[in-house]
Chain A
Amino acid sequence: NAGVTQTPKFQVLKTGQSMTLQCAQDMNHNSMYWYRQDPGMGLRLIYYSASEGTTDKGEVPNGYNVSRLNKREFSLRLESAAPSQTSVYFCASSEAPVPEAFFGQGTRLTVV
């Protein structure tokens, strides 16, 4: 019973490099989310996908793109990484009417 799985767990990038964070859930949830967590800032929503085939911007979308590949997978792409994108990234999923959001284990990204 894996729940929400993120890869990789750790990553160091140089400024300007690109990468994709992967997220997969095995709970058959319709909705998926990407958050970033910074000290003193809590969890801020980057993008979300209310259902397969739809994606929308959250609170802090600049510098990111997403793809809802299928119902299970929701990826986050950094096209040109910047030091300001150093953060811990969490993927989450949920399914109405149960409101609980289930989080992945996080990806710690450092941009140097």
Chain B
Amino acid sequence: GENVEQHPSTLSVQEGDSAVIKCTYSDSASNYFPWYKQELGKRPQLIIDIRSNVGEKKDQRIAVTLNKTAKHFSLHITETQPEDSAVYFCAASRNTGFQKLVFGTGTRLLVSP
């Protein structure tokens, strides 16, 4: 089955810096790669996703890149703000008509003012 590895487990940056979180996956048939943000005590919420037919996707300060050959994808956050502090999870799945997501272990991002 699919296995998703995520690094780093914790990341501390200064406000305004960029943050990068990386994930690798094992199943070459996976074709959907979402990123979820989970604030303390809250539910995970989708912030951005990418499908395998696209190499990069941007949404304001966040972007995701995908390298299918190397089987890795990354989340990039620019101009970080304190409200970006949260745990971020990557995930991967095959599109089989429903999404059985396999998650990475999460990255705790701390943005200091």
- A-side interface residues toward B, CB under 8 Å? 30-31, 33, 35, 40-45, 48, 50-51, 58-59, 90, 94, 96, 99-101, 103-106
Contacts and interface: CB of A to CB of B under 8 A. Distances in A.
A109 B97 CA distance: 31
Contacts of B25: none
Interface stretch (B55-63, B76-84, B101-109): B101-109
- Among B34, B100, B102, the one with the most A-chain Cβ atoms within 10 Å of its Cβ is B100
A43 B89 contact: yes
Given A42-B104, A42-B106, A96 B44 contact: no
Given A42-B89, A42-B104, A45-B102, 17 more contacts: A40-B106, A42-B6, A42-B103, A42-B105, A43-B44, A43-B89, A43-B103, A45-B100, A48-B98, A50-B97, A51-B98, A59-B102, A90-B43, A99-B93, A99-B95, A100-B49, A105-B43
6 contacts: A40-B106, A45-B100, A45-B102, A100-B34, A100-B99, A101-B46
Query: At the interface, is chain B mostly helix, strand, loop or mixed?
Result: loop
A56 B98 CA distance: 13
